[in-house]
């Protein structure tokens, strides 16, 4: 029996490793020249860049995954401080807070979000949820402690009354593809993942993590076809028969699609497409990214979040499909040399969330860099610069409207309301990755690989 995985992102690689041993043959077909998808990396002279993730959260998920595939977990380094949050006006020094460890002020919050985290991991994240799961006895009897209908911002305001702390506890919603005003409070568990469980850095960066998966796949005998975009899906009755690439057709018994969900719909005959009204879906933001090779005086921790002006206006820009105005622009900065002294060059990544469908404006990265220097007292010389934006997400990953993170985690796109893990009409066409359950982010996508493995083996 042969399993064909379309897309070599974290979701595709993790699924390939989990299915090898259950299937005689596992083939990964990847459009790009390297694997990793949004978690890829690139090199420019002495500088190396992780193109996507920089926060390694929920280490217990990776421990479980590697245990299941018979590999040792990827080595990690603890990141300290966890994060610095800057809040103020563009081009001016403002107020800031650096989180080293749990403060007294956070104890009650972490106790309550820790409860949500533990229940979610046990009840929601380790299984493909159905509507019935909302009727679970433990969930119903704890509705007050697992707030599904309240917004994250409202929930946070019960614990913190300063603007700075509310912003510090609200920015994690951007990782979930939303804002603190439209993300359900139950996702405050991400704050527990950060402040309660700790922030880690995979040795060698996410490049090292992806390479670990890739080498493990190769050792297990997974076949890779790189530079092979799938351009068509051939169907026979209620099954996928093969996928077509420029170098030929690949047949299989089970197909797992890791490529962007919307794009896989476009490759199917009309009657088999999963979602007819894509325009109704709430997409997670795209991003404008500055990959900068730098020198100079850097007063930066590994992770910095900067909030400027009226942050609601930045979130509004995501809804209104326009770029943020510089004075109300928030951004995130990764400076991993603060943790990883072995890096030859110093790489700085500036990430500005922007609406899907917008176009890259490199000036925003320049504005953010100047602002960062002022706020942190750094003096930064840029030796290398590459700007990456929504158009690149479309051309590199076939991302619908250039979304960076897929589908946002609003209530009606959570759990059983996310896109299905199997095509409703094609019995051997499965989906894995950030569009399906449980959702966005490397740990979630790793869980999604475990879920799709279980589903395939149950339905074989
Ligand atoms: C800038 C950025 C920062 C992020 N930061 C974090 C973070 O700090 N922590 C965290 O946990 N998560 C983070 N994330 C989210 C995380 O990276 C993603 O959720 C995860 O990597 C998605 O994995 P995936 O396997 O679902 O999809 P992808 O990585 O998109 O993989 C899909 C694969 O399918 C391939 N493909 C597309 N079309 C075809 C085709 N026609 N034929 C063959 N192959 C095709 C693509 O090339 C790609 O390799 C970040 C994401 C971005 C973009």
User: Is the CB of residue 405 less than 8 Å from the CB of residue 284?
Assistant: yes
The closest residue, in CA terms, to atom 10 on ligand 1 is 441
Domain extent for 339: 285-404
Three-class SS of residue 303? strand
Which of 11, 12, 37, 336 has most ligand 1 atoms within 8 Å of its beta carbon, as the pocket-test mutant? 37
Q: What is the mean pLDDT of the chain?
A: 96
Q: Do 185 and 230 reside in the same domain of the chain? A: no
CB of 397 shorter than 6 A to ligand 1: yes
Q: Do 255 and 352 reside in the same domain of the chain? A: no
CB of 418 shorter than 6 A to ligand 1: no
Ligand 1 atom nearest residue 37's Cα? 49
* Total domains present in the chain: 3
Whose CA is closest to 351, among 309, 306, 384, 321? Answer: 306
CB atoms within 10 A of CB 202: 24
Q: Do 438 and 414 reside in the same domain of the chain? A: yes
**Alpha carbons 276 and 265: distance in angstroms, whole number:** 9
Q: Which two tokens stand for residue 75?
A: 């080595």
**Alpha carbons 208 and 339: distance in angstroms, whole number:** 15
Which of 41, 441, 446, 451 has most ligand 1 atoms within 8 Å of its beta carbon, as the pocket-test mutant? 441
Q: Do 245 and 327 reside in the same domain of the chain? A: no
Q: Do 331 and 237 reside in the same domain of the chain? A: no
- Ranking 17-31, 82-96, 163-177 by mean pLDDT, the lowest is 163-177
* Band (146; pLDDT cuts 50, 70, 90): confident
- In a domain, residue 172? The reply is yes
Question: What are the residues facing 430 on neighbouring strands?
Answer: 256, 422
Q: pLDDT > 70: what percent of the chain?
A: 100
**Alpha carbons 416 and 123: distance in angstroms, whole number:** 13
What confidence tens digit (pLDDT) does each residue in 148-173 have? 889 999 999 999 999 999 999 999 99
- pTM > 0.95: yes or no: yes
Check pLDDT > 90 for residue 224: yes
Check pLDDT > 90 for residue 343: yes
What confidence tens digit (pLDDT) does each residue in 278-330 have? 999 999 999 999 999 999 999 999 999 999 999 999 999 999 999 999 999 99
Count CA atoms closer than 13 A to 366's CA, side-chain side: 4
Ligand 1 atom nearest residue 267's Cα? 41
CB of 37 shorter than 6 A to ligand 1: yes
- In a domain, residue 24? The reply is yes
- In a domain, residue 89? The reply is no
410 exposure class (CB count in 10 Å sphere: 0-12, 13-18, 19+): middle
Which of 13, 39, 125 has most ligand 1 atoms within 8 Å of its beta carbon, as the pocket-test mutant? 39
Q: Do 8 and 114 reside in the same domain of the chain? A: no
CB of 331 shorter than 6 A to ligand 1: no
CB of 225 shorter than 6 A to ligand 1: no
Check pLDDT > 90 for residue 39: yes
CB atoms within 10 A of CB 285: 23
Q: Do 413 and 341 reside in the same domain of the chain? A: no
| CA 9–ligand 1 middle distance (angstroms) | 5
Radius of gyration from C-alpha coordinates of the chain? 21
**What's the CATH code of the domain at 145?**
1.10.405
CB atoms within 10 A of CB 163: 12
| CA 420–ligand 1 middle distance (angstroms) | 18
**Alpha carbons 416 and 414: distance in angstroms, whole number:** 6
Which of the listed residues 178, 198, 218 is the one where a domain comes to its end? 198
How many secondary structure helices (H) and strands (E) does the chain include? 13, 19
Q: Do 304 and 273 reside in the same domain of the chain? A: no
- In a domain, residue 35? The reply is yes
Check pLDDT > 90 for residue 210: yes
Arithmetic mean of pLDDT, 85-99: 97
What confidence tens digit (pLDDT) does each residue in 2-26 have? 999 999 999 999 999 999 989 999 9
Q: Do 390 and 305 reside in the same domain of the chain? A: yes
**Alpha carbons 328 and 349: distance in angstroms, whole number:** 20
Q: Do 235 and 156 reside in the same domain of the chain? A: no
CA-CA distances (angstroms) from residue 138 to 133, 141, 186, 412? 10, 5, 15, 21
pLDDT of residue 67: 97
Q: What is the 3-state secondary structure (H, E, C) of 323-386?
A: CCCHHHCCEEEECHHHCCCCCCCEEEEEEEEECCCCCCCHHHHHHHHHHHHHHHCCEEEEEEEE
- In a domain, residue 80? The reply is no
Check pLDDT > 80 for residue 68: yes
Which of the listed residues 169, 198, 227 is the one where a domain comes to its end? 198
Q: Is the peptide bond before 144 cis (omega within 30 degrees of 0)?
A: no
- In a domain, residue 84? The reply is no
**What's the CATH code of the domain at 453?**
3.50.50.60
Show contacts of 150-153: CB within 8 Å, 24+ apart.
Answer: 150/184, 150/185, 151/180, 151/181, 151/182, 151/183, 151/184, 151/185, 152/180, 152/181, 152/183, 152/184, 152/185, 152/187, 152/188, 153/180, 153/181
- In a domain, residue 44? The reply is yes
- In a domain, residue 59? The reply is yes
Which of the listed residues 146, 168, 198 is the one where a domain comes to its end? 198
């Amino acid at each position: 029996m042969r399993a064909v995985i379309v897309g070599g992102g974290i979701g595709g690689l993790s699924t390939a490793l989990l299915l090898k041993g259950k299937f005689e043959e596992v083939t990964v077909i990847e459009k790009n020249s390297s694997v990793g998808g949004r978690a890829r990396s690139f090199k420019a002279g002495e500088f190396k860049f992780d193109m996507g993730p920089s926060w390694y959260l929920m280490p217990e998920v990776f421990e479980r995954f590697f245990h299941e595939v018979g590999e040792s977990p990827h080595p990690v380094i603890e990141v300290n401080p966890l994060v610095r949050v800057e809040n103020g006006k563009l081009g001016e020094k403002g107020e800031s807070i650096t989180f080293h460890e749990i403060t007294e002020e956070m104890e009650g919050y972490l106790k309550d979000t820790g409860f949500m985290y533990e229940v979610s991991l046990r009840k929601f994240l380790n299984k493909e949820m159905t509507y019935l799961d909302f009727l679970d006895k433990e969930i119903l009897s704890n509705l007050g402690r697992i707030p599904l209908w309240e917004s994250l911002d409202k929930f946070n305001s019960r614990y913190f009354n300063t603007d700075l702390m509310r912003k510090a506890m609200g920015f994690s919603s951007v990782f979930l593809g939303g804002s603190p005003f439209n993300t359900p409070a139950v996702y405050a568990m991400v704050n527990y993942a950060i402040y309660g469980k700790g922030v880690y850095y995979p040795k060698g960066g996410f490049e090292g993590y992806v390479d670990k998966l890739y080498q493990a796949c190769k050792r297990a005998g997974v076949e890779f076809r790189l530079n092979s975009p799938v351009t068509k899906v051939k169907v026979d009755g209620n099954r996928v028969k093969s996928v077509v690439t420029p170098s030929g057709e690949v047949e299989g018994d089970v197909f797992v699609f890791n490529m962007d969900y919307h794009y896989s719909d476009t490759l199917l005959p009309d009657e088999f497409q999963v979602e007819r009204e894509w325009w109704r879906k709430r997409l997670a933001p795209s991003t404008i990214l500055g990959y900068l090779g730098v020198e100079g005086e850097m007063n930066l921790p590994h992770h910095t979040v900067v909030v400027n002006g009226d942050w609601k206006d930045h979130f509004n820009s995501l809804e209104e499909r326009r770029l943020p105005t510089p004075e109300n622009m928030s951004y995130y900065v990764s400076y991993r040399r603060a943790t990883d002294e072995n890096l030859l060059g110093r790489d700085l990544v500036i990430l500005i969330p922007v609406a899907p469908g917008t176009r890259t404006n490199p000036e925003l990265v320049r504005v953010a860099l100047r602002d960062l220097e002022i706020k942190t007292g750094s003096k930064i010389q840029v030796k290398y610069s590459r700007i990456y934006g929504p158009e690149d997400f479309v051309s590199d990953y076939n991302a619908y409207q250039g979304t960076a993170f897929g589908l946002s985690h609003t209530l009606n796109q959570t759990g059983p309301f996310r896109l299905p893990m199997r095509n409703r009409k094609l019995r051997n066409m499965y989906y894995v990755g950030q569009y399906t359950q449980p959702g966005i982010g490397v740990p979630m996508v790793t869980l999604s690989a475990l879920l799709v493995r279980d589903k395939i083996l149950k339905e074989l």
